[in-house]
Structure 1
């Protein structure tokens, strides 16, 4: 269950980054509230997963999901570059996350 909680926390981190982008420097109310909601939920779920998982592994996976997910969302929805180097580097992050899961 801790792994599922950690993965959900990582997806919530992606949500907080999306809402941070949409908040326009916290000038827009609803995206700013979305940022607070997803940020709080992400940290709460991370804290729950840390009860059973090693902190280094959990934190690395949480940030890896957030990093890779944010780059993918940026490429799909915010017209960020989609070059092969970025895609290969995202795959490196995903490989590292999977490797940490397999060794934990």
Structure 2
């Protein structure tokens, strides 16, 4: 169950980053509310997941999910550049996160 909380925490982190991008573009208060709700949910779910996952691994993987997810969502939804270097380094984040999970 802790990994389900963890996956949803990462997902909320990505949705929160999208809300930040939309708020930056529109300055709409609804996106500001979305930022607060999504990051609050993300932290709450992370805290539930950390009851069974070590702090260092949980934070590193959660941060990796948010960073990699943010880059990938930027490429897909916001048509940001997708050069080979960017994709290579995102893959390093993902591989490192998976590696941390496997050794913990």
Q: TM-score range by the shorter chain?
A: over 0.9
For residue 68 of structure 2, what is the aligned residue in structure 1?
A: 68
The CA deviation string for residues 16-72 of structure 1, in whole angstroms up to 9 with x for no partner, is: 110011112783111111111111100000010111110000000100000000000
For residue 13 of structure 2, what is the aligned residue in structure 1?
A: 13
For residue 91 of structure 2, what is the aligned residue in structure 1?
A: 91
Structure 2 unaligned spans of 5+: none
| Aligned length, in residue pairs | 104
Q: CA RMSD in A?
A: 1.3
For residue 51 of structure 2, what is the aligned residue in structure 1?
A: 51
Runs of 4+ in 1 over 3 A off after TM superposition: none
TM-score, normalised with respect to structure 2: 0.94
For residue 103 of structure 2, what is the aligned residue in structure 1?
A: 103
Shift of 1:99: 0.4
TM-score, normalised with respect to structure 1: 0.94
Structure 1 unaligned spans of 5+: none
User: How far apart in 1 are the matches of 2:81 and 2:24?
Assistant: 20
